[in-house]
Structure 1
Amino acid sequence: MTKIFVVGDSISMHYNDDLKRFLSGYAMLKRKGEGEKPGDLDYESKVNGGDSACVLGYLQATPDIDADIFIINCGLHDIKFYHEVGHLQVEPEDYRENLKQIAAHIQKLGKQMVWVMSTTVDDEIHKKNCSVFFRKNEDIKQYNHIAKEVMEQMGVPIIDLHDFTEKLGDGVFCDHVHFKPHVRTLHAAFIAGQVIGLFGLKKTYELS
């Protein structure tokens, strides 16, 4: 059976169990830090992929991951802005270069990859619920545009979770950037359908 491995931020952590359920019979799904405690969702951890530099570093340090397909996402951590630092956590051109290296690394391993666009940010909701750092939707749109350019250049298919989430309308957030449980399930269903279609996965049944 096809083996899929997920490296992504806390959004992917939230839809992971549903995604595994929806892909059951099509693929075996595992993720970075499988079985570990999630930690603070706002920061990179054993489970949370963090920003693009963290994702690249993790993949380079773990070249023997048993997977046929990688589902990769990063962006929300890259656009974090701390006033005391005075700039985004990962600047746009560094983000672009990190993504190129991520895709090249996976392709060099002879594996397939799909990129998941980062989800929406509501500036006012974020500002109201998080004072440690800030995010702006205009930044996530810029970084998603960069990701689109890089992935198209590298021949990597894209799942546009940003556009999908925008179409769900208001009332989707449970805090500054994460989503209510029903939205996480919708994310998982959307991604599962896209992955099955993109890679032509077929349902298999085990004989009892």
Structure 2
Amino acid sequence: MNNKFYLITALCIFLCLGYKPKEPKILIIGDSISIGYFSKVKEEMANKAIVMHNPGNAQHTGTGLEKIKDWIGKEDWDIIQFNWGLWDLCYRHPDADAYGNRDKIKGTITYDPQTYRQNLEELVSILKASTSAKLIFVTTTYVPVNEAGRFTEDVPKYNAIAKAVMKKNGVIINDIYKKSIAIHHKNGVGDNDVHYNKEGYKELGELIVPVLNKTLKKL
């Protein structure tokens, strides 16, 4: 009887103090594409989790290796979703006129496929050692044919490498590449730009949310 009384009393105190269960925390790490759909994802997940994005643009895997521990910080993340690829497969030349010195004719690739694989392996290893969060990798989105610094056909190659690394390490894969092609044709900025308009980012966000929800349910 006394135990029941104390339990009820404790519950009343918690309720009176405004006690709330711990909200799950999700960290999204990625480039400008993820920044574009972030607001849609945050809005859709508002009543289910706290969703944050790494400061700024995660760029390529080299930047990831430099900053990943700072991005994780001391937070107790439940899910970390990450992506690298568009910057890794980009060719740049210091004299190129295109924004970001992109030049797939005279430029040098940021990271060749072998280095991309090695960097991803190291990044996954750091993530696993630094956090107990569930890990989700999102594949690289479509590159239109007239993009100044990237080849359309490189995306499936880099995605295949990434998926092999993730499968090997037990990381959840959200493969949005094929659907991103149709989204880009309809709501991309143009045939020379990897980015999307507002509606396009909304559609990409709708590919992200279901996998986050599914993963949350399994926590």
Name the TM-score class by shorter chain.
0.7 to 0.9
Letter in 2 for 1:156: V
2:62 is matched with 53
CA distance in 1, matches of 2:194, 2:170: 30
Q: Check if 1:5 corresponds to 2:27.
A: yes
Letter in 2 for 1:186: E
Aligned residues: 182
Which protein is bigger by CA-based radius of gyration?
Answer: 2
2:97 is matched with none
CA distance in 1, matches of 2:173, 2:194: 21
2:198 is matched with 181
2:122 is matched with 101
| 1:88-138 Cα deviation digits (max 9, x unpaired) | 1111111111111111111112222100001000112x24xxxxxx10111
Q: Structure 1: which 5+ runs fail to align?
A: 34-46, 128-133, 203-208
- How much does 1:195 deviate? 1.2
| 1:50-88 Cα deviation digits (max 9, x unpaired) | 001111221134452412211101100001112567431
The TM-score, its normalising length taken from structure 2, stands at 0.77
Cα–Cα, structure 1 residues 113 and 59, in superposed 2: closer, same or farther, change >3 Å?
A: same
Q: Greater share of helix residues, 1 or 2?
A: 2
Secondary structure, counterpart of 1:199 in structure 2: helix
Q: Structure 2: which 5+ runs fail to align?
A: 1-22, 95-105
CA distance in 2, matches of 1:49, 1:9: 5
Q: Check if 1:139 corresponds to 2:139.
A: no
> Which of 122, 131, 143 is 2:144 aligned to?
122
Secondary structure, counterpart of 1:24 in structure 2: coil
- Whether the 8 Å contact between 1:106 and 1:112 is mirrored in structure 2 is no
- How much does 1:168 deviate? 3.3
1:190 is matched with 207
Cα–Cα, structure 1 residues 63 and 197, in superposed 2: closer, same or farther, change >3 Å?
A: closer
- How much does 1:174 deviate? 1.1
Secondary structure, counterpart of 1:123 in structure 2: coil
CA distance in 1, matches of 2:46, 2:112: 38
Give the share of equivalent positions with the same residue, in percent.
25
Q: Which has the higher contact order (CA 8 A, sep 6+)?
A: 1
Runs of 4 or more consecutive aligned structure 1 residues displaced over 6 Å after TM superposition: none
The TM-score, its normalising length taken from structure 1, stands at 0.81
